Amino acid sequence: MIRSKFPPKSKWKSLSQRPSASSASLESDVRGILERVAQRGDSALLELTEKYDGVSLNTIAISEEEIFDSESKVSAELKGAIQLAKGNIEAFHRSQVLKEERVETVPGVSCWREARAIERVGLYVPGGSAPLFSTVLMLGVPAVLAGCSDIILCTPPDANGNVNPIILYCAKLLGIRKVFKVGGAQAIAALAYGTESIPAVSKIFGPGNSYVTKAKELVQEKGVAIDMPAGPSEVLVIADSTAVPEFVASDLLSQAEHGPDSQVLLLSDSNRVIAEVLEEIDRQLPTLKRRAIAEMALNASRVIQFENIEQCLQFSNYYAPEHLIIASENAEEYVPLVQNAGSVFLGNYSCESAGDYASGTNHTLPTNGFAKAYSGVSVDSFIKKITFQNISARGIKEIGPAIETMAKAELLDGHANAVTVRLKSLSNV
């Protein structure tokens, strides 16, 4: 890991650089994939699956029978863990389903908002180096709670042309029946434009590699909504003198094993804590099955020492991490200072893995600094809010003259007249 000590603010921009950046060749490649799928539909999907996933398929659709049969292929222990996680995720996200009150802005003018589910949504679940079945829960639970009537799930096939039964089991638990074995940018293209098998959706959700991320960015140009801009996963840990170095090292490594372009940062005001955490990383790293991947991520990751924890939090807000861990016995005292972060983990026992799987919060979060302006996925991500207003005769009398005055000042006589004719009709009553 790259070490820095007491960096001035003039250096913060360079210290906040993520390890990967979009290239012109990547954009060109992805645009080509999008155009190919838009023009040729399913046949393009089959060709691209053979090219990128190395498997020849006859169909991309997964039958309901295969979805139902998945349960028998998942161990009882794992099913129990998944059901516990599903219950916690549902409990947390159900609290987000709120009904707003009507507001009478003046007598006779009533305004309110009502939520409506996005009718058809697309969920992308990565399955490249590891089957991320937890993402099915993280995206599917709020989609179901929001009331989305048509949920389409895409995930890449394995080397044998199958989808991991754990992913299918999670889909079954949520009542998702439209599942397709297609991955990468071609899956995003199918969800955006539609093919013979996959219907076009109104909004696309889910993480992915650089191809998936770029594809999501580009389909927005065609009017397809996405959950958020995203990139490789990241965690920033702020550790004070009460942190447990063994725990901190495990959190950094758990994120580093995501991929070679992941980034982890350790911030502390304690030279002792930093030294002990680095020793723990050296001790724990050889035990990881994905050690080589974690090592590559660590090479582009940072350890930064600041004068105090308040400065650590200032830098964290500048960096705007996807995951922020405050490893301290006094973590809640620092909550008011947190301004930019996707999801925050407080205290020595709040590991980031808990949020990834089973605490209840969502793990689909903004990366690459987008936490400065974006939130993680929630029930709100799957709905839109429609405003309503009901204006009575008394109400138009109350606000009509102000509307006329403002419309005329903007030289919009038609707007003013729409009020004037109503006021005149009332003066004749």
- Residue 363 known to bind ligand: no
Task: Spell out the residues 6+ positions from residue 128 whose beta carbon is closer than 8 angstroms to its own.
Answer: 156, 183, 209
- Which tokens belong to 174? 């949520």
- Residue 415 known to bind ligand: yes
Strands 103-106 and 109-117: antiparallel
47 is a catalytic site residue: no
**Out of 322, 352, 363, 404, which one is annotated catalytic?**
322
* Cβ neighbourhood burial of 349 (10 Å; 0-12, 13-18, 19+): exposed
- Residue 124 known to bind ligand: yes
Burial 315-332 (b: 16+ CB within 10 A, else e): bbbbbbbbbbbbbbeebe
Task: Spell out the residues 6+ positions from residue 46 whose beta carbon is closer than 8 angstroms to its own.
Answer: 56, 57, 60
- At 56 the three-state DSSP class reads coil
Residues for the chain: how many in total?
429
- Residue 425 known to bind ligand: no
Q: How many CA atoms lie within 13 A of 127 on its CB side?
A: 27
- Residue 255 known to bind ligand: yes
- Residue 323 known to bind ligand: yes
323 is a catalytic site residue: yes
Starting at the earlier edge strand, list the strands of the sheet with 383-391: 103-106, 109-117, 383-391
**Out of 323, 352, 363, 404, which one is annotated catalytic?**
323
- Residue 319 known to bind ligand: no
Annotated binding-site ranges for substrate: 233, 255, 258, 323, 356, 410, 415
Q: Which residues are catalytic?
A: 322-323
Annotated binding-site ranges: 124, 186, 209, 233, 255, 258, 323, 356, 410, 415
Annotated binding-site ranges for NAD(+): 124, 186, 209
